[in-house]
Amino acid sequence: MLRRYEKELSGWGNHPRAVCEVVEPFSVEDVKGGLTRTTIARGLGRSYADQALNSGGRVLLTGSLNLFLGFDDRRGVLRAEAGLSLEEVLRVFVPRGWFPPITPGTKYVTLGGMFASDVHGKNHHREGSVSNFVRSVRLLTPRGEVLDLTPEDPLFWATAGGMGLTGVILEVEMEMRPIQTSYIRYRSFRVRNIDEMLAVFDENDPKYTYSVAWIDCLSSGRNMGRGVVMFGEHARLEELPEKLRKRPLFFVERFKVRFPFQAPSFLLNDLTMAVFNWLYYTTHPPYEGFVDYERFFYPLDAIDEWNKAYGRRGFIQFQFVVPERETLVGVLERIVKRGGGSFLAVLKRMGEQRGYLPFGIPGWTLALDFPIKSGLFEFLKPLMAEIVRKGGRFYLTKDALMDSGIFRDSYPDFPKWYELRRKADPEGILSSDLARRLGMV
């Protein structure tokens, strides 16, 4: 039984918005029945912009297709429906000693959404993106075929990071990581500028699986790039202090606060951002010890609907990867000089990534949130072109700004991806606002 209605939707950035026909399938037959006009699948809508929007077309919510289907505890392989959320995976598997191999900075994503964006975590430089751990996916193409795809199949790699445009992912089989405790052995450093920050990464990255840094984008001059660099490793049982060893494995149920209202746009100004950045910096002294996984991986999930803080006009996330550190520093300089920078500026190191539309290349990725204000796009677009000229690229699941030229220049295997997609969807049923903006369909 297919439920359908019209609704205005947006991604996590609340920009852009689009009126779509929403359908809620409850079975594979429903999904098949839903592919009769231009359609895009949507998980929990945590992509930032128009990735899971389809203006005037159909958006297929996968949330009801959320069953656990099996677990092979010898190989540590989980099989589940694609609408299952990462939160539910954590709830069931952490107490049993298993953790997702790759996790984005929020647990409110679906397995299908993770694969379709081929998400990365704080371990990309060592372990790559989620597709490295996916053993197979079951894909329904608009031709009505149900395909079990493995890494041997080119269509598997066109679907990883393929933004829902090769078919609807029905099931995902993913290798989990054994853990002994719910704790992360954690070490953080406060650094005074970008040179110190990169040096701390260089020194500590070989020692830890996970690393990430937060940058205060409002500090300039000698303090440009000051921030906090954090490293983590799943703690082994024998490493834990006695009192934590009594209950080493548990799902962290954190008390959540809800962002109370849609903030007026004037609330986010240079002053409030400076106060936030100063507070973050001063309340994060260097630390070495144990924190639970929730604090390390999902600090933002503690505030429900924090995206409302950016007001009705919303915000965009500008996430790019560049191969050279000089380019990173140059871009940061430009952003700091302009002012009006971002609450959250997150820096990670990246490594290789497979696929036809991979975001990851060896280098550095910086993610910045910008509230939408006049003049923003005029500032960012030339910067975007320059980043691409220097061999960088932008993350499809966050992007709101690229055009087809920038996209094709930075994703050189797009023509190969396009051929695979054309075979899977010859009539062009699968489409999204992102796909049309970038000329992917």
Ligand X SMILES: Cc1cc2nc3c(=O)[nH]c(=O)nc-3n(C[C@H](O)[C@H](O)[C@H](O)COP(=O)(O)OP(=O)(O)OC[C@H]3O[C@@H](n4cnc5c(N)ncnc54)[C@H](O)[C@@H]3O)c2cc1C
Residues of this chain that interact with ligand X (CB under 6 A) are 12, 40-47, 51-52, 62, 82, 104-106, 109-110, 112-114, 116-117, 119-121, 163-164, 168-169, 300, 397
- Closest among 410, 223, 411 to 332, alpha carbons compared: 223
To the nearest whole angstrom, how small is the minimum distance from the Cβ of residue 38 to ligand X?
12
Largest separation between any pair of C-alpha atoms in the chain: 62
- Indicate the residue among 301 and 386 with the shorter CB distance to ligand X: 301
To the nearest whole angstrom, how small is the minimum distance from the Cβ of residue 302 to ligand X?
11
- Indicate the residue among 219 and 348 with the shorter CB distance to ligand X: 348
To the nearest whole angstrom, how small is the minimum distance from the Cβ of residue 211 to ligand X?
12
- Bridge partners of 369? 317
d(C-alpha 228, C-alpha 190), whole Å? 5
C-alpha torsion angle, residues 90, 96, 97, 101 (rounded to 10): -40
To the nearest whole angstrom, how small is the minimum distance from the Cβ of residue 138 to ligand X?
10
- Indicate the residue among 240 and 396 with the shorter CB distance to ligand X: 396
d(C-alpha 165, C-alpha 180), whole Å? 38
Which helix (H) or strand (E) covers residue 112, if one does? helix 111-117
- Bridge partners of 345? 368
- Indicate the residue among 168 and 268 with the shorter CB distance to ligand X: 168
- Bridge partners of 5? 22
- Indicate the residue among 142 and 341 with the shorter CB distance to ligand X: 142
How far is Cα of residue 196 from the mean position of the Cα atoms in its chain? 27
- Indicate the residue among 161 and 225 with the shorter CB distance to ligand X: 161
d(C-alpha 163, C-alpha 77), whole Å? 24
How many other CB atoms sit within 10 Å of the CB of residue 253?
Answer: 8
- Indicate the residue among 117 and 219 with the shorter CB distance to ligand X: 117
To the nearest whole angstrom, how small is the minimum distance from the Cβ of residue 243 to ligand X?
31
With beta carbons less than 8 A apart as the criterion, state whether 224 and 193 touch. yes
To the nearest whole angstrom, how small is the minimum distance from the Cβ of residue 348 to ligand X?
8
Task: Name 123's Cβ contacts closer than 8 Å, sequence gap at least 6.
Answer: 102, 209, 210, 211
d(C-alpha 413, C-alpha 120), whole Å? 20
- Closest among 277, 289, 192 to 235, alpha carbons compared: 289
d(C-alpha 169, C-alpha 208), whole Å? 33
- Indicate the residue among 119 and 200 with the shorter CB distance to ligand X: 119
- Indicate the residue among 117 and 181 with the shorter CB distance to ligand X: 117
To the nearest whole angstrom, how small is the minimum distance from the Cβ of residue 96 to ligand X?
23
To the nearest whole angstrom, how small is the minimum distance from the Cβ of residue 122 to ligand X?
7
Strands 257-258, 303-304: parallel, antiparallel or unpaired by DSSP?
parallel
To the nearest whole angstrom, how small is the minimum distance from the Cβ of residue 43 to ligand X?
2
- Indicate the residue among 48 and 189 with the shorter CB distance to ligand X: 48
To the nearest whole angstrom, how small is the minimum distance from the Cβ of residue 238 to ligand X?
30
How many other CB atoms sit within 10 Å of the CB of residue 1?
Answer: 9
Residue with tokens 């924090």: 306
Angle between helix axes 325-338 and 376-389 (nearest 10 degrees) is: 170
